[in-house]
Amino acid sequence: MKRIALFIICQFLFLGCQHKEHNPVNESVQPENAVAAKSNDAGHCIEKFKELRDVLYSGNKEEFKQYFSFPVLNSEVWSLIAKSKGNYEGKKYNDPFTEADYDNHFDLIFTPHFINALLKIKPKELFEKGKFITPHIIESGADVRTEYFMQAEYYEEDELILALNYEFYSEDEKTESAIVYFFTLKDCKPIFNKVMIAG
């Protein structure tokens, strides 16, 4: 599990380095109008993120389709569905994910845990600092205590990553897993791209 967690962290760092290379101008020497433009872009992204969050919280699956571009290709979303249902329902992990599939499996992709954690993100801090980690949410069961939290990463050019992390505690063991959601930003509007599962 440590290797998997390290892989996810390294991937975040790699993506961050890629995006930094796209912008060779040092922020400290940018003209004032460039800094103002960056601030305005952050403000626009904050509003778009709030809109996504509010639509998801409302449970309006039809309205939430605006954050998808069907069919979704190579998303590995079937791996997430199989994790919940125990099988791929005749699909392969990288099969296209259609609008009909979305209608049938929405609740397995955006679970109550995902929504609860998403609501704890502070959009202003995320889009001004580029990252945010929520507090842990704790659920205690008879034999296992579950803790989950969300780690969000924002890259100005075009990407938002939301990692839903789990920690499971039993009497003598701790295990971890993560579901990482990738969104492409189009004029700051997040469009679902793919998921990755660790653990």
Instruction: Give the model's pLDDT for residue 28.
Output: 40
pTM for the full predicted model: 0.80
Q: How far apart are CA 178 and CA 23, in angstroms?
A: 30
DSSP the chain: -HHHHHHHHHHHHHHHHHHHHH--S-GGGS-HHHHHHHHHHHHHHHHHHHHHHHHHHHT-HHHHGGG--SSB-S--HHHHHHHHHSS-TT--TTS-B-HHHHHHHHHHHS-HHHHHHHTT--HHHHHHHSEEEPPPEEEE-SS-EEEEEEEEEEETTTEEEEEEEEEEE-SS-EEEEEEEEEEEEETTEEEEEEEEEE-
Residue 15 has pLDDT above 60, yes or no: no
Residue 9: predicted pLDDT: 46
More confident residue, 35 or 74: 74
pLDDT band for position 197 (cuts 50, 70, 90)? very high
Backbone angles phi, psi at 134, to 5 degrees: -80, 160
- Rounded Cα distance, 54 and 64, in Å: 10
Give strand pairing partners of 152.
132, 162
From 60, 99, 105, select the one nearest 82 (Cα to Cα). 105
pLDDT tens profile 25-58: 344 444 444 333 444 488 999 999 999 999 999 9
- The residue with greater pLDDT, 94 or 163, is 163
Per residue in 85-127, pLDDT (tens digit) is 888 878 888 899 999 999 999 999 999 999 999 999 999 999 9
**Whether residue 23 has pLDDT greater than 60:** no
Provide, rounded to the nearest whole percent, the portion of the chain with pLDDT above 90.
65
Cα(186)–Cα(107) distance, rounded to whole angstroms? Answer: 24
